[in-house]
Amino acid sequence: MAFRIGPYRFANRLALAPMAGVTDRPFRQLCRELGAGMTVSEMITSRPDLRDSRKTQLRMDHEGEPGPIIVQIAGGVPELMADAARYNVANGAQIIDINMGCPAKKVCKVEAGSALLKDRSLVESILRAVVAAVDVPVTLKIRTGWSRQQRNAIDIARVAEDCGIQALSIHGRTREDRFQGEAEYQTIRQVKRLLEIPVIANGDIDSVAKAQMVMDFTAADAIMVGRIAQQRPWIFAQIDHYLSTGRTPEEPADELKQAWLTGHIKNLYAFYGEHQGVQIARKHINWQLAHRDDYYRVKPLLMQAQTATQQLDTIEAYFNDCYRKGRYDLAC
């Protein structure tokens, strides 16, 4: 079953969570290829003085991506957020997402991200300003509150719907929790019962069984997968298969995992240039291979590689060694 945001219909009910330093264009493309129905950009600052920086320009690059193009903006000044929304729509954004969920200190200390949840009046001002500024759907991502004593997601959700927000994503933790402990879904369930707009559930969805449980418990219109996608980007196809058929999917063959990883790395080289691409590729290699028993043998070579050829040749040699030993995924 698909879901909609405004005029846009998505292929399934699975979204890749926006993650700074992770969900760049190459990673979004990989996850779309592997079954994500919806992807969102890394958050883009609303500060106009940073628009011409290389970092912001790369985050605004959506060339070759399937639509709708969803751009997440961050900031705490209504006028700047409205201007940022207009600017990104003029540069191709088809949906604007507002970040009120990031728990990072450097974001919260400038009264942005989840820090905004402390101020209901400011939340409303930002939402009204952004919705009025553009003629595309505006969505919102929040947490359950600023602290465990201030779980105000229900109040913020009502404000969001009243302001014209067309979909709401909720991470089942407060800002105080950051990524510690377990996500709770009761708040998401309560919000879903109150709203008419689509609600997307987020937090600790790391398996097909967990995806089904969250869907059933919250009655969310869609689910948003974050950190596990760094390690297993093919989890989207697995969840989609399970939700559609009720059958547990098979684990992809190592040949496919190798092809996906090397294809993604090559895309990183093309996007960032070889030098920066090699550096950024290291974390993706670690995420996908660190759980394999023999990875420690090759990790130093991969982390010290200075060229694309060195990195790719080492990955190929590593997988070839696994195939030759017949050990494959569980043992390698």
- 332 catalytic? Reply is no
Q: What is the 3-state secondary structure (H, E, C) of the chain?
A: CCCEECCEECCCCEEECCCCCCCCHHHHHHHHHCCCCEECCCCEECCHHHCCCHHHHHHCCCCCCCCCCEEEEECCCHHHHHHHHHHHHHCCCCEEEEEECCCCHHHHCCCCHHHHHHCHHHHHHHHHHHHHHCCCCEEEEEEEECCCCCCCHHHHHHHHHHHCCCCEEEEEEECCCCCCCCCCCHHHHHHHHHCCCCEEEECCCCCHHHHHHHHHHHCCCEEEECCHHHHCCCHHHHHHHHHHHCCCCCCCCHHHHHHHHHHHHHHHHHHHCHHHHHHHHHHHHHHHHCCCCCHHHHHHHHHHCCCHHHHHHHHHHHHHHHHHHCCHHHHC
β 8-9/14-16 pair status: unpaired
Are 175 and 135 in contact, with CB atoms under 8 Å apart? no
Q: Which of 31, 102, 163, 322 is catalytic?
A: 102
- Give bridge partners of residue 138 from the DSSP assignment: 96
Distances (CA, A) of 257 to 20, 253, 272, 306: 24, 7, 22, 23
**Active-site amino acid positions:** 102
